[in-house]
């Protein structure tokens, strides 16, 4: 019997022609499996209530069609309550857009480049708040050319107008420590922006680069605990690509950061992701004790070699398209119907979300991973996101190779790096679910 092989998912994300070594996507858009535009629209009642359980099942099996990916992600990340109407969501969307515009204007008042369609890639202020006159920005495509801000029409030219230079020259000394700290991160954001997903044609457009910079700059201003850390641009970039409105992209990223911000919170002695690495070690010790012992013998018992996988959710191990496919399957599997009410500010929540608090959570509306946690009454399940089990699944899959060939930590890193572009997102999720079930069983007996 002939089977439809599916449409390659990466055909929706155009790669620059000179980038010939980009991993090909394994994600295929398959009729009957992938959540299609028609199936998505049919999941809503005339008032706008969403049957989330059917949607989750479809995503877990075949991912989301790229045409609707952005709007579906808004539900998966808890931006909107499935039990809300079209009208209620429109009110929430409008309120959030106004809030984002307010924050962005606040940032623009402090640093006028925000919202100008340009961005900086060199420091404009010293650590004691003194402006740096005429800073140089060395753009990748223009080494040796001194510019402050890339021109409006592309990254490859020089900023010849006086407005760019005046931005630096007209800065007043800053005394407020919060503003100094924020302004010190702006050039680092710029440096990361020009490196992020540079194989994609999408980022040849200067406007898209500056949009990414603006969102990260605004987020760094409002999240004073975390600010900006390297890796956040990798998490934010898909939101810019999938959602046309900048404010909507911001809120999608903000919701994702609510899940992951603990990874980026640093102290003088530790990095937030260390807690997950510790959980990864505990899981591996339970599900594959021989591998864990081998890694400990090699001096890798802290599992730092898995740092990047957890920090940016496998963005470097998969093709761009496959990383999106992986993310949406993960979010569908661990979906919690209480996400919206947990994330929405008390004074801003609509009446329906407020009224639903305290009601028993419907297990039918939960993702498969969350259902397992509920059934097993896993008290610490919030500390064990599916991403940790994904990494454990990848390690277990490579267990024999690691046991036979790894004679030092460099070998471990090399073996894991060789997987780039060769991982299967669906297989990884299936493996993660199996390990999760096995871990919960063994943890219950312990």
Q: For the chain, what is the radius of gyration of the CA atoms?
A: 23
What is residue 417's predicted lDDT score, i.e. its pLDDT?
87
User: Which residue matches tokens 């680069």?
Assistant: 209
Rounded to an integer, what distance in angstroms lies between the CA atom of residue 165 and that of residue 167? Answer: 5
Contacts of 367 (CB under 8 A, 6+ apart): 56, 60, 331, 332, 333, 334, 335, 336
Spatial CA neighbour of 237 closest among 262, 212, 263: 212
Q: Is 65 left (phi over 0), alpha (psi -120 to 50) or beta?
A: beta
CA contacts within 13 A on the Cβ side of 262: 11
The dihedral built from the CA positions of residue 196, 197, 198 and 201, taken in this order, carries a sign that is negative
pLDDT at 169: 52
* Mean pLDDT of each 10-residue bin along the chain, 446 residues long: 66 91 88 94 96 92 95 96 96 97 97 93 91 56 36 35 48 91 96 95 95 98 93 97 97 95 75 86 92 94 91 91 96 90 58 48 84 71 80 93 93 89 88 91 72
Domains of the chain: 7-86 (no CATH), 101-258 (1.10.8.270), 274-445 (1.10.472)
Burial call 109-128: b when 16+ CB within 10 Å, e when fewer: ebbebbbbbbbbbbbbbeee
- Which three-class secondary structure state does DSSP give residue 195? coil
Q: Give me the pLDDT at residue 267, please.
A: 66
Nearest to 39 by CA among 20, 65, 18: 65
**Sign of the alpha-carbon dihedral angle for 148, 101, 48, 342:** positive
- Give Cα separations from 403 to 48, 290, 297, 415 (angstroms): 53, 8, 11, 11
User: In whole angstroms, what is the distance from residue 305 CA to residue 110 CA?
Assistant: 39
- Collect all residues with Cβ–Cβ distance below 8 Å to 295 and sequence separation of at least 6: 284, 301, 303, 402, 412
What pairs with residue 64 in β-bridges?
35
Give the pLDDT confidence score for residue 377 in this predicted structure: 66
């Amino acid at each position: 019997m002939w089977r439809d092989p599916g449409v390659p998912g990466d055909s929706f994300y155009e790669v620059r022609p000179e980038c010939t070594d980009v991993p090909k996507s394994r994600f295929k858009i398959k009729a009957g499996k992938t959540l299609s535009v028609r199936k998505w629209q049919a999941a809503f009642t005339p008032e706008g209530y969403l049957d989330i359980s059917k949607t989750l099942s479809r995503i877990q099996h075949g991912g989301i069609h790229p045409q609707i990916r952005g709007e579906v992600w808004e539900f998966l990340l808890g931006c909107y309550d499935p039990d809300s109407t079209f009208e209620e969501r429109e009110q929430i969307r409008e309120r959030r857009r106004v809030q984002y515009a307010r924050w962005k204007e606040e940032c623009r008042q402090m640093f006028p480049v925000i919202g100008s369609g340009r961005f900086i890639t060199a420091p404009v202020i010293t650590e004691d708040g003194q402006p740096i006159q005429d800073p140089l920005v060395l753009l990748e495509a223009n080494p040796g050319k001194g510019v402050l801000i890339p021109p409006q029409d592309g990254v490859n030219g020089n900023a010849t107008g006086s407005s760019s230079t005046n931005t630096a020259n007209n800065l007043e000394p800053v005394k407020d420590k919060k503003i100094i700290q924020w302004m010190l991160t702006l050039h680092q954001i710029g440096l990361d922006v020009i490196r992020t997903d540079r194989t994609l044609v999408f980022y040849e457009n200067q406007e898209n680069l500056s949009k990414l910079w603006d969102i990260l700059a605004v987020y760094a201003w409002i999240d004073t605990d975390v600010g900006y850390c390297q890796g956040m641009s990798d998490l934010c970039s898909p939101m810019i690509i999938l959602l046309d409105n900048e404010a909507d992209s911001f809120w999608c990223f903000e919701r994702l950061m609510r899940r992951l911000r603990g990874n980026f919170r640093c102290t003088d002695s530790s990095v937030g992701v260390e807690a997950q690495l510790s959980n990864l070690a505990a899981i591996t010790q339970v599900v594959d004790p021989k591998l864990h012992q081998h890694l400990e013998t090699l001096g890798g018992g802290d599992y730092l070699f898995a740092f990047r996988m957890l920090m940016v959710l496998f963005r470097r191990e998969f093709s761009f398209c496959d990383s999106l496919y992986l993310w949406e399957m993960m979010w569908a599997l661990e979906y919690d119907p209480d996400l919206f009410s947990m994330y929405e500010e008390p004074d801003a929540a609509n009446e329906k979300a407020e009224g639903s608090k305290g009601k028993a959570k419907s297990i039918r509306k939960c993702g498969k991973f969350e259902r397992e946690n509920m059934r097993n009454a896993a008290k610490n399940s919030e500390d064990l996101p599916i991403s940790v089990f994904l990494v454990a699944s990848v390690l277990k899959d490579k267990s024999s190779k690691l046991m036979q060939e790894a004679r030092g930590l460099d070998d471990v890193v090399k073996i894991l790096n060789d997987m780039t572009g060769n991982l299967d997102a669906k297989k990884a999720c299936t493996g993660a679910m199996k390990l999760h079930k096995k871990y919960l069983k063994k943890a219950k007996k312990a």
